[in-house]
Amino acid sequence: MPRVADHDARQGQISAAVQRLIVRDGLAAVTVARTAAEAGVSVGLVQHYFKTKDEMLLATFTRVNGQFTARVAELANQGEADGRTIAEMLRQALAELIPLDDVRRAEFPVRLAFADRAAHSARLAAVQRQTLEGIRSRVARAIDNGTACGEVPEGTDAAQLALRIVAFTEGLALHTHIDPDGTPGPAVLGALDDQLGRVFTGSCRRARRG
């Protein structure tokens, strides 16, 4: 177990260094030598864990997604405990994809770098596609749950609406990244609320009202 823990810690240390380089200087700055210097480890240690730049980027992308997933899970647990509606919990989850604070602003460039690299790598493209399918699937499940509790009209095509909602959220995220001054948080979240309000038009029978 100590060896496994050390292995994970080392990979996390190197992935964190890759993320800092991407945020500060872009993907072109991610080399074995610069990553080693940023992480405070030897070049040989980086090469022991990662043979290629794509492997370093994949590990960093996976780390960022893991952080996102953990935050969403925590929000969902708290939302259920507080009796929030499904629409409210979905809004919180989707907002975690939008770079509205320092944590999310440090994650978004990794997603962009991964998307750019995936355009030229079948392996990375497959991971990107699976990640996106997973997000759409979770949103579709939330819509189905909304239908079951009364927030979403019967007969709603959850998959189609999930595609629309996720694409809309990604568009908001990109605009927020490119033009943070022109996309204040309240306006961005208001736009997300408006989009979700077109789908979640009813009241959840199970939600507690404060």
C-alpha torsion angle, residues 5, 7, 13, 16 (rounded to 10): -100
Tell whether 41 and 130 lie within a shared domain: no
Q: What does the alpha-carbon distance between residue 140 and residue 30 come to, in Å, rounded to a whole number?
A: 36
Tell whether 39 and 73 lie within a shared domain: no
Which residue bears the tokens 């935050």?
71
Q: What does the alpha-carbon distance between residue 167 and residue 125 come to, in Å, rounded to a whole number?
A: 17
Answer whether 30's CB lies under 8 Å from 57's CB: yes
Q: Which pLDDT belongs to residue 5?
A: 54
Phi, psi angles (nearest 5°) of residue 183: -130, 70
Helix (H, G, I), strand (E, B) or coil at 193: helix
Tell whether 38 and 90 lie within a shared domain: no
- Poorest-pLDDT segment among 35-39, 138-142, 165-169, 205-209: 205-209
Name the average pLDDT for the chain.
93
Q: Which pLDDT belongs to residue 72?
A: 95
Q: Cβ of 41: how many Cβ atoms within 10 Å?
A: 17
Which residue bears the tokens 């990375």?
124
Tell whether 46 and 60 lie within a shared domain: no
Please state the pTM of the whole predicted model.
0.90
Tell whether 46 and 70 lie within a shared domain: no
Tell whether 73 and 93 lie within a shared domain: yes
Q: What does the alpha-carbon distance between residue 54 and residue 76 come to, in Å, rounded to a whole number?
A: 32
User: Per residue in 19-49, pLDDT tens?
Assistant: 999 999 999 999 999 999 999 999 999 999 9
Tell whether 65 and 31 lie within a shared domain: no
What are the CA-CA distances from residue 14 to residues 4, 24, 53, 105, 178 (Å)? 15, 15, 12, 19, 27
Q: Which pLDDT belongs to residue 3?
A: 59
Containing structural domain, residue 31: 1-51
Ranges assigned E (strand) in 26-112? none
Task: Extract the tokens encoding 117.
Answer: 């690299």
Tell whether 47 and 59 lie within a shared domain: no
Tell whether 180 and 108 lie within a shared domain: yes
C-alpha torsion angle, residues 55, 56, 58, 59 (rounded to 10): 110
What are the CA-CA distances from residue 207 to residues 53, 81, 158, 193 (Å)? 47, 10, 21, 18
Say how many domains are in the chain: 2
Tell whether 131 and 151 lie within a shared domain: yes
Q: What is the mean pLDDT of residues 133-157?
A: 96
